[in-house]
Structure 1
Amino acid sequence: MTELRSLLGDTVTRLFTDLATKELIEAAEKGTWPDKLWRALEEGGLTLPLVPEDAGGAGGTWLDAHVVVRASGRHQAPVPLAETIVAGWLLSRAGLAVPFGPMTLAPVHADERLTLARSAGAVTVSGRATRVPWGRHAEHVVAVSELDGRLTVALIARGAATIEEERNLALEPRDTLVFRDARVVAFGAADVPADAIYLYGAMARAAQMAGALDSCLTQAVRYATERKQFGKPIGNFQAIQQSLAVLAGHVAASGIAAESAFRAAERNDARFEIAVAKVRVGEAAGVGAGIAHQTHGAIGFTYEHSLHFATRRLWSWRAEFGSENAWARQLGRAVAARGADALWSDLTAR
């Protein structure tokens, strides 16, 4: 682990432990923006780990960013930290200045597009993007589209869009943004995939889900040692131990899959690993959340207990930036296109 990664890990864990409390998450789910938490993240240099130092960022790598993104999922931080990190990276790739403040990405669905066009000496954006994470709170939106035949990263002010407010199962904002010839703040050509938002958004969600699964395991193990039945902790019963072992296996596999995707992103060739991570972590989310709730019993379904903060996010996040079924289809098509003879060599070369 590099010195920067160690520093980021210590800083983000301490910050989330102190500030991402149950009370703060509950307030965020009722619509209150956690300004103190966001300001602390910015002051700690945690929102722009991939932006070069001379541009105001930490000058880190994707693996450094992984530490921060996974921690945000482990603590269910109610802020668009993952989105801001990816947005900052995209802006840097386009040579654009990265603003402070929360950012989001749009569109987030593979079949949606925003259109960039030149108009009266400026560049405008038009289109409709649904289920945009934190749309109402983000100060800027980052989009990737074609302009003059080149892939272009565009920075758009939040006020340029009409916002239709919605939420996901975890009560996080997932808003529809409608742009009608809205002026773009800044734009620049960039060497990124056309589906960069969908691709790297999926990678970020995989890491967040791996963190949330880690939280589920921690809470389930703690409850199994505290809750007593027939005169002893329920964790002493073999059936509970077996279930927790299965959960621990899914947590470990999910963490490795997500980290592998971030490592592959360093070489700009992460599509295969991102697909694998989203599939593997999505599968784990379904099994792992079920085991965590079974271990807790009825109390785990109450709003007063904190388990649901992790499980509701797992159920929401697994469908965002492509479900495991969507990514599994991509993997299947890629394997079929390459042919059976290339499968083993492709797997071992990663």
Structure 2
Amino acid sequence: MKEILEATLEKLFADQLQPEQLIASEQTQWQAPLWTLIEDSGFSLAMVPEALGGAQASWHELVGVIELCGKFCLPLPLPESIFANWLLGCCGAEPITGPVSIAAEHNLTVHNGKVTGEMRNVPWGRSVSQVVAVIGGEQPRVVVMAPSASCTVTETTNIAGEPRDHLQFEQAVAELTVPLAAGLTEQVVLLGGAMLRTAQISGALAESMLLATSYVNERVQFGRPLAKFQVVQHQLAVLAEHAAATRVAVQAAFAQSSGALAELALMTAKIVAAEAAGIGASTAHGVHGAIGFTHEYRLHLLTRRLWSWRSEFGSEVYWAEQLGQAVCRAGAEQYWPTITRQELSA
């Protein structure tokens, strides 16, 4: 199934996502015809249980799909929709067929069945039909909110021009509330968002490396291709090293996330990917020289997203602190077992 899903989506993206369309999307924001094509293909429901109408794919089978969203700079919330429907499916709830996003940052409270509070940095919050979040407490619950008349939307974007909006609710009625599934923590949306971004970073890094490699083999300076200069070869080696390390970390995190999300692997992957995003973007621009900064050249479509995604759903520093604290809480005796077991102690 993995190869079929990736081949199908890659063909769709290659046909629909040209650089001029991506640049235009920063002004028009929502690509309705493209979303219809994606929705009709069923990818947003790929991880929904078969009993609820989905394909019941695993995260291991979907990792390449999320990487393709990064490689092609998809200006739509397909990764968020896949994750939201996976979470709802884990909780036994019906999937959402329209565009849906997730909110890891919020201060939502429920009183007398009404929801009040703010969701912050919601991907495509202004355009999606519904947003999924988890409200913590003694009995954490998954809540689905619909931006409507009871919601005030403050539109913002990241440096890649992707919508990251703030939604303020006042005494709003939730579309759905269900208990969080056993085995999942109230941090599941933050972890899941970090997982999505690591895979998108992996795809964008790989594409940046291909773009840089192609350029230095074609560009001639002082009578020979740039790729023949040792300093350029070193820069390409650094870029390849970080792209490969990220992909390995991402593949491991997705493969281990069967059922619940693999916290240790996901923390590690986000740390590796966030570091690689910064180094990879600067290296790709370094080997391109001035042309890499021009609006007409597509490198900036990748690097602006790398710079944005590395900080979303927890930065490198945030996850390094979380990982360090978790290991310290387990104690010295659990340090080696934690590494060999590839999971954090309860």
Same fold (TM over 0.5): yes
1:163 aligns to what? 153
Partner of 1:137: 127
Aligned equivalent of 2:281? 289
Report the counterpart of residue 208 of structure 1 in structure 2. Answer: 200
Q: How big is the shift at 1:233?
A: 1.1
Distance between the aligned counterparts of 1:174 and 1:207, measured in 2? Answer: 19
Aligned to 1:259: 251
Of residues 119, 123, 126, the one that matches 2:116 is 126
Alignment deviations for residues 32-70 of structure 1 (CA, whole Å, 9 cap, x no partner): 411222111112221122112332322100112212111
Matched to 2:124, the amino acid is W
Percent of pairs with identical residues: 41
Matched with 1:84 is: 81
Q: Distance in 2 between matches of 1:207 and 1:57?
A: 22
Aligned residue in 1 for 2:262: 270
In the other structure, the counterpart of 2:303 is 311
Q: Is the 8 A contact 2:192 2:261 kept in 1?
A: no
Following TM superposition, by how much is the alpha carbon of 1:31 offset from its aligned partner in structure 2, in angstroms? 2.5
Distance 1:20 1:56, change over 3 A: farther
Q: Which residue does the alignment assign to 1:7?
A: 4
**What's the C-alpha RMSD, in Å, of the aligned pairs?**
1.4
* Corresponding residue of 2:229: 237
Q: What secondary structure does 1:24 align onto?
A: helix
Native 8 Å contact 1:210 1:251 kept in 2: yes
1:63 counterpart residue number = 60
Give the TM-score of the pair, scaled to structure 1. Answer: 0.94
Match status 1:187 vs 2:184: no
- Separation of aligned partners in 2, 1:99 and 1:335: 37
The answer for the alignment partner of 1:93 in structure 2 is 90
CA distance in 2, matches of 1:28, 1:151: 37
Would you say the 8 A contact 1:65–1:85 is kept in 2?
no
**In 2, distance between residues paired with 1:37 and 1:251?**
28
Indicate the SS of the match to 1:254.
Answer: helix
Q: 8 Å contact 1:101–1:138 — kept in the other structure? A: yes
1:29 to 26, 29, 37: 26
What is the distance in 2 between the residues matched to 1:260 and 1:138? 31
1:97 Cα deviation (Å)? 1.4
Q: Is the 8 A contact 2:191 2:261 kept in 1?
A: no
Cα distance, 1:267 vs structure 2: 4.6
8 Å CA contact retained: 1:94, 1:152: no
- Separation in 2, partners of 1:270, 1:85: 17
Using the alignment, how far apart are the partners of 1:94 and 1:335 within structure 2?
29
CA drift at 1:117: 3.2
CA distances 1:282-322 after superposition (whole Å, capped 9, x unpaired): 01011110110001100000111000111000111111100
What is the CA-CA distance between 1:269 and the residue it aligns to? Answer: 4.9
Stretches of structure 2 that go unaligned for 5 or more consecutive residues are none
User: Which letter maps to 1:281?
Assistant: A
In 2, the alpha carbon distance for the partners of 1:153 and 1:343 equals 33
Residues 49 and 64 in structure 1, CA contact (< 8 A), matched pair in contact too: no
What's the CA shift for 1:339? 2.2
Does the CA contact (< 8 Å) of 2:194 and 2:312 recur in 1? yes
Q: Residue type matched to 1:115 in 2? A: T
For 1:23, what is the secondary structure of its paired residue?
helix
SS at match of 1:142: strand
Paired letter, 2:202: A
Aligned residues: 339
Counterpart residue type for residue 49 of structure 1: A
Amino acid at match of 2:165: D
Aligned partner of 1:198 among 169, 190, 198: 190
